[in-house]
Amino acid sequence: MSQSLVGLRDVSADRIVSLLDRASAYRGRIAAGEARLELLRGRAVALMFFEASTRTRFSFEMAAHRLGADVLSFSAASSSTTKGETLLDTTRLLAAVGADAVVIRHAAVGVPHRLSELLPIPVLNAGDGINEHPTQALLDLLTLRDHLGSLAGRTVAIVGDVRHSRVARSNVFGLRALGARVLVAGPGTLCPAGLEHLGAEPRRSLDDVLDEADAVMMLRIQRERLGGAILPSAEEYRRYWGLDERRAARLRPGAVVMHPAPMNRGVEIADEVADGPSSVIFAQMENGVYVRMAALAASVGVDR
Ligand code: CP
């Protein structure tokens, strides 16, 4: 059965674990020398990115190639959306010409969800505004599981611009579903009230989470979503909210440092930490391919 993936808010722990197990299995097969698994041979995946992306776009594209699928790449700037064609008509066209799944990133909250109700093919959310980024959270969960084992009872701190972070929201849903405790901390203007309702525990500062966390997920300030909001300077931000070597030394033994990237090196994370022994940031990026393979194959109903 085909199934969209538009967010983790209502996704069960069983479905999350099944996707992570599938991603691990695909990773094992590729490590054993199978360059292409051919599970989606003859299928086509449409990639529609209406916002900038490096990691998500490349890893979805690589995931599709690894599964043997064809990739239909869409460029908003050179498409007929510039002539006024609606998003729904554009995506209907992709289904009409033979796409078996559509991956979409859009600035407007809810676009993937609405399309999933209207299209005859599954929709995978590659990030919708400040709402959700489910495959990023899945790759984070896989990376955490690789390093910490079971996430039940573990503590993960998410630090920075939580207000504008779809990564934070999807991670809160996914981590809570798997039984982890989630601490969130950020500057007052960048940390919304009401996070308790999502199951997260607010903290006042980065320094307040370091001793407790099994993992610290640093977020960049999403300047592109800030409008006229008043912000600390980069130097002030680094001083109060930056994870530098001195602060990283306070982490528990075995704790890992994460970042969804792109990173603002020298602001929310120091070079020495991003490239240091506790960092799993590039493992996160690699896991993005396996998780997106799992999400694509599951979405079109391939059950192995
Ligand atoms: N982490 C993430 O979504 O990166 P991109 O914006 O480069 O896709």
Residues 6+ apart with CB under 8 A from 193: none
Q: Pseudo-torsion of CA 31, 36, 39, 41, nearest 10°? A: 180
Any ligand 1 atom below 6 A from CB of 135: no
**CA pair distance 183, 132, nearest whole angstrom:** 18
Residue 41: phi and psi, rounded to 5, are -60, 130
Question: What's the pLDDT band for 221 if we cut at 50, 70, 90?
Answer: confident
**What distance lies between CA 84 and its chain's CA centroid?**
30
Output the CA 4–ligand 1 centroid distance in Å. Answer: 20
Residue 233 has pLDDT above 90, yes or no: no
Half-sphere exposure for 29 (CA within 13 Å, toward CB): 18
Residue of 47, 49, 136 best suited for mutating to test ligand 1, as the one with most atoms within 8 Å of CB = 136
Average pLDDT over residues 157-164: 94
Structure tokens at 206: 């980065």
Amino acid letter, 96: A
Average pLDDT over residues 54-68: 98
pLDDT 10s digits, 11-56: 999 999 999 999 999 999 999 999 999 999 999 999 999 999 999 9
Residue of 55, 136, 285 best suited for mutating to test ligand 1, as the one with most atoms within 8 Å of CB = 55
| DSSP per-residue string spanning 173-200 | HHHHHTT-EEEEE--GGGS-TTGGGGTE
Per annotation, catalytic residue among 15, 55, 65, 114? 55
Question: What's the pLDDT band for 228 if we cut at 50, 70, 90?
Answer: low
Any ligand 1 atom below 6 A from CB of 222: no
Q: Is 56 a catalytic residue?
A: yes
Domains and CATH numbers, the chain: 13-131+285-299 (3.40.50.1370), 134-284 (3.40.50.1370)
Give the pLDDT of residue 75.
Answer: 86
- Lookup result for tokens 């086509």: 44
Helix, strand, coil in percent for the chain, rounding step 5 = 40, 15, 40
Q: Is 105 a catalytic residue?
A: yes
Kindly report the average pLDDT of the chain as a whole number. 94
Any ligand 1 atom below 6 A from CB of 56: yes
**Do 194 and 134 touch, CB atoms closer than 8 A?**
no
pTM over 0.85: yes
Proportion of the chain above pLDDT 70, given as a percent: 98
Per annotation, catalytic residue among 22, 27, 43, 56? 56
Residues 6+ apart with CB under 8 A from 48: 74, 76, 90, 91, 94, 102, 103, 104, 105, 106
Give the pLDDT of residue 230.
Answer: 63
Any ligand 1 atom below 6 A from CB of 224: no
Q: 303 by DSSP, 3-state: which? A: coil
pLDDT 10s digits, 272-297: 999 999 999 999 999 999 999 999 99
pLDDT 10s digits, 83-95: 999 999 999 999 9
Q: Which atom of ligand 1 approaches the CA of 126 most closely?
A: 3
Question: What's the pLDDT band for 68 if we cut at 50, 70, 90?
Answer: very high
**CA pair distance 197, 275, nearest whole angstrom:** 35
Stretch among 76-90, 144-158, 258-272 having the lowest mean pLDDT: 76-90
Residue 189 has pLDDT above 90, yes or no: no
Give the pLDDT of residue 227.
Answer: 64
> DSSP letter at 252?
P
Give the pLDDT of residue 208.
Answer: 95
**Do 234 and 267 touch, CB atoms closer than 8 A?**
yes
Give the pLDDT of residue 224.
Answer: 74
Q: Is 55 a catalytic residue?
A: yes
**Do 298 and 22 touch, CB atoms closer than 8 A?**
yes
Of all protein residues, whose CA lies closest to atom 4 belonging to ligand 1?
A: 55
Output the CA 260–ligand 1 centroid distance in Å. Answer: 7
pLDDT 10s digits, 130-154: 999 999 999 999 999 999 999 999 9
Q: Is 239 a catalytic residue?
A: no
Residue 298 has pLDDT above 70, yes or no: yes
Question: What's the pLDDT band for 104 if we cut at 50, 70, 90?
Answer: very high
Q: Is 83 a catalytic residue?
A: yes
**Do 237 and 187 touch, CB atoms closer than 8 A?**
yes
